Structure 1
Amino acid sequence: FVADKVPGFDSFWDGIQTFIRIPAGAILAAAAFGQLDPQWVMAAGLAGGTLAGTAHAAKAGTRALINVSPEPFSNWAASLSEDVAASGGLLLAFFLPVAFLVVLALLLVVAIWLLPRLWRGLRRLRQALGRGEPAVAARRLPRR
């Protein structure tokens, strides 16, 4: 909760969480199907790890791009919106699971649309930093 509020440290924290969130998503999904045949447990684990990886990549990529913003308020707004979304998603999953699945499907579509754009933005940022340009200049680079 606190690590996401500090610009720069949140990207470091996301790097550490890469090795925690994705395996945890796979393990939790597999455990939810633990009483079924092993092939269902394996499929659930793969789906859970994939969902966790997609969510983590979208979050970490977005936060890395937000961190180059010259003002601190976008970082705090992003962190607070993530906290509200996570709490709301848990409540929805517990009390309205069908609505949660609909929202999850919509968020997956958004993530599939967003991830290529995030990678392009990160690549432009890396190129700008490699040329010694200020990080803000990466936003004005031409598209390729």
Structure 2
Amino acid sequence: MLPLIFTAGWASGINAYAVVFLLGLFGRIGWAGDVPPGLQRTDVLIAAAALFLIEAVADKIPYLDSFWDAVHTVVRPASGAVVSALIAGQDDSLPTMFAAAVGGTTALLSHIVKAGTRMAINTSPEPVTNIAVSTAEDFTVGGVLTLAVFFPVLAAVIAAVLLAIGLWVVYLCASRISRYRRRRRERRGARTGGTEPVLE
């Protein structure tokens, strides 16, 4: 259970709606036996699919993607924790609170990677890079989550490697991200008719 929980948490930090939809769908068609019945409900699948489509568009538009990420700073870790807890609830061998902590923490870390890399990309606000990165994220989440259903340990290893690489990339791009945030503060100050203090 733990490898699936880790992978679901990592994927939730990138696209929480895709995780809910895919896990629910896999459980519905009988590919995964550990998917909670709550995720397989028709209304949950429809809502997750609709929200995924909205995110698929918003995530490919420069600056809007960063706003979307900011809004989901709470949503993605919370979703990772809830999905992980629900998965753990299917098997008494893993404490629910521990599973929620693992899923929520992993989701938070992968969300930081997603939001950080998107800020770095938006320092050059042309849409091609945003579209390419967002599409790659969607396919990666779908592929790794599907792999987790059949080979959970392998999927967890891949998710861990991608998470480690992502955190390293965000660390390397920290100065670029800092400049991006400073420019945003300056633009907000200009719109309000004043100049906001810039903290270095």
Normalising by the residue count of structure 2, what TM-score does the alignment of the two structures yield? 0.58
Where do 5+ consecutive residues of structure 1 fail to align?
Answer: 133-144
Matched, 1:97 2:152: yes
1:82 aligns with: 137
Report the residue type matching 1:98 in the other structure: V
Counterpart mapping for 1:1-144 below 5 A? 1-34=56-89, 35-36=91-92, 40-127=95-182
- Aligned CA RMSD, in angstroms, stands at 2.3
Count, aligned residues: 131
Q: Structure 2 vs 1, CA of residues 32 and 131 (structure 1 numbering), >3 Å: closer, same or farther?
A: closer
* Residues 58, 68 of structure 2: 8 Å contact kept: yes
d(CA) in 2 for partners of 1:19, 1:66? 22
Offset at 1:131? 7.6
Normalising by the residue count of structure 1, what TM-score does the alignment of the two structures yield? 0.77
Identity among equivalent positions (%) equals 40
2:38 aligns with: none
Where do 5+ consecutive residues of structure 2 fail to align?
Answer: 1-55, 188-200
Q: Structure 2 vs 1, CA of residues 104 and 70 (structure 1 numbering), >3 Å: closer, same or farther?
A: closer
Which structure's relative contact order is higher, taking Cα pairs within 8 Å and 6+ residues apart? 2
Offset at 1:48? 0.7
Q: Structure 2 vs 1, CA of residues 108 and 130 (structure 1 numbering), >3 Å: closer, same or farther?
A: closer
